[in-house]
Amino acid sequence: MRRFIGIVIAVLMVGAMAGCGSDSGSVPVVVTSTAPSTPSGAPDLAAGQEIARDIDVPWGMAFLPDGGVLISERDTGRILRVVPGRAPQRVYEVPGVVARGEGGLLGLAVAADYAETRYVYAYFTAADDNRIVRFRLDGQPEVIFDGIAKAEYHNGGRIAFGPDGMLYVGTGDAGQGSRSQDPANPNGKILRLTPDGAAAPDNPTPGSPVYSLGHRNVQGLAWDRQGRLFAAEFGQNAFDEINLIEPGRNYGWPIVEGNGGTDRGFIEPQVIWKPSEASPSGIAIAGDTLYVAALRGERLWTVPLHDGTLGTPQSRLPDLGRLRTVVIAPDGALWLTTSNTDGRGDVRAGDDRVIRFPAR
């Protein structure tokens, strides 16, 4: 097995923990405890701690108020609850998930008022479309938004609550770029919804869920301290992008990929890469740094952030394989998931993993 650079596996507890949790068998096990974090510190990328392993294509990640973490498995439809030092527990299975290609159980979000409502949100691929449901972990799901076209590729799938309390949704073009330029089509967009799934009342176009358009496949959403939204975008053959999202603006796909669209009214990306270097999925922001999980690029990119402008990316963590999701925890730690079991990676013993980097 390849050695992890900078990953410290403190305690191997596979045998001790194999019988813990509500379900045994294929449920992955915790392999280490964690060090404390300082919320105001930057994540220490040289002090990684493996939290869980043998997860089946981990995709979405969301933190619960009690410190637990929910993680979705793309191909099984299961949601696991992960707590450092304990075996992951299977707490829910979303019914109707049809996992094929890049589709399946994708993004997760926890309601801002979870303590009162107990709502969890999930984006998934069903028999006829991609859709968003909400549910309590002891209840049945309620469809709050559907009709997002599905395909083998470009299903989008990231969902997150913004600082304004609205639910933001990254969708893909489902293989047809023309959808991205159609303001009446939810594909190839960033959508902005109320927690009930309606179009947010102050969206750019009244009654429309569309917040921005001209996207190919959005899988990363993150806000800086001033509430500015950044999004990760899969390119086709030329350029992947990180964009600063402005309401009602058009980001050019499929007319433009990368730079060069300002003379046609499109917004220029903040950062571009060759797809072989990135294929960016999840993103997160801590302080003055944007973190980008790269799939095909098989690394974590760190990008300086200053007053809404991104600087030159730096490559980190090159020995974990494909990276899907990166999230900053309430205590300032950075959590990420690998994605080597998604059909495109080189699977090694223990994949896929959840790794935590405490804040200094």
In angstroms, rounded to a whole number, what is the distance separating the alpha carbons of residues 228 and 225?
A: 7
pLDDT of residue 4: 34
DSSP structure class, residue 241:
E
| SS3 per-residue string spanning 1-34 | CCCCCCECCCCCCHHHHCCCCCCCCCCCCECCCC
How many angstroms separate the first and last alpha carbons of the chain? 29
In angstroms, rounded to a whole number, what is the distance separating the alpha carbons of residues 304 and 291?
A: 9
Cα angle 203, 205, 209; round to 5: 60
pLDDT digits (tens, 9 = 90+) for 227-280: 999 999 999 999 999 999 999 999 999 999 999 999 999 999 999 999 999 999
pLDDT digits (tens, 9 = 90+) for 17-40: 333 333 434 455 444 434 455 556
**The sheet that has 78-82: what strands, in order across it?**
58-63, 69-73, 78-82, 89-93
Structural contact between residues 215 and 188, judged by C-beta atoms closer than 8 angstroms: yes
**Count of C-beta atoms within a 10 Å radius of residue 142:** 13
DSSP structure class, residue 116:
H
Which two tokens mark 203?
């969206």
Question: Average pLDDT for residues 303-307, to the nearest whole number?
Answer: 97
Q: For the chain, what are the domain ranges?
A: 14-357
pLDDT digits (tens, 9 = 90+) for 310-353: 999 999 999 999 999 999 999 999 999 999 999 999 999 999 99
Given pLDDT bands bounded at 50, 70 and 90, which one contains residue 41?
A: confident
pLDDT digits (tens, 9 = 90+) for 88-113: 999 999 999 999 999 999 999 999 99
Q: What is the dihedral of CA 124, 341, 68, 106, to 10 degrees?
A: -10
Q: Give residues with Cβ within 8 angstroms of 317, minimum separation 6.
A: 5, 6, 45, 48, 299, 300, 323
Radius of gyration, CA atoms only, the chain: 19
pLDDT of residue 146: 98
Question: Average pLDDT for residues 221-229, to the nearest whole number?
Answer: 97
14-357: CATH topology: Neuraminidase (2.120.10)
Average pLDDT, the chain: 91
